[in-house]
Structure 1
Amino acid sequence: MVAASVPGAEVHAADLDPAALALAGRNLPQGARVHLADALDGLPTRLRGRLTTIAAVPPYVPEAELDLMPREARDHEPASALVGGGADGLGHVRRLIADARPWLATGGQVLLELHAAQLPVAAGEGRASGWLARQHPPTASRTGVLELIAG
């Protein structure tokens, strides 16, 4: 967990689903704050320009591939938590790429967990928007991390 590796980190979690926020509130470190928000929209404005890391697992499944998801995900997660928008599932990712910069402190970064096949496309989108993009190798679950640093 990111917060455990950075003593004194101020942690904020955002989601549109109140049930997801309640679960996050139970699992996050003491003092963490949860916000009913649509990605970065709805976060307290006092955080603008202060975030050192934005870590997200945005919805990234293309709608046409939802049926290919493991049954436990399809049965227990709302489709809105899985389907990412657009034919390639990267609609939410594109939004974070476009919206994150004003929220970050100098030297801040964005970490996005995505399917391995989407990493190169999302990295290209990040580079086209002026980010330095680094892809971290996929895990056994076929997800990897895209790291974006303001360039």
Structure 2
Amino acid sequence: MENKWQTKQLKEEKPELSTFMDFLPNSHYLKILLAQLNRHYDPEVKIMFQKKFGWYIEIVQYGGLLCRILVHDDYFSVITPIPPFAKDYLDPMLKVMSNEFKAVYLHTINGANQIEMKVTSEAEMEDVVYLVSLQAKMLRENQIV
């Protein structure tokens, strides 16, 4: 199945953040997510390109990657690295996480070094914010000052 964002963006120059927002039908979730990340981490927001994904958003802070935001036709997804200690924090939280997160988590946590969450609801967006907070914790603790 063709991804309209990727196909369109392969032919375009580097888009502005507003171009991502204009394309997405659920851009309000992306706006909220970016506002949360800015409020908590004041990160560097980069617009990057890979042929596999097209143009995407990379969020960097504390000397490392917090997450990548990929655009799909009807939603966006967030790829977050999984710190080694994440399982200790995530297992007790499963009962309050979204069904989407539970399904993805149970299929990826063992041996995976990242998790990709589809964001189509507020609950999924909150799960992503929590995942990013774990990655930020690891980066902050390992940051060379």
Is the pair's TM-score, using the shorter chain for normalization, greater than 0.5? no
TM-score (ref. length: structure 1):
0.32
TM-score (ref. length: structure 2):
0.33
Higher relative CO (CA 8 A, sep ≥ 6), structure 1 or 2? 2
The structure richer in helix per residue is: 2
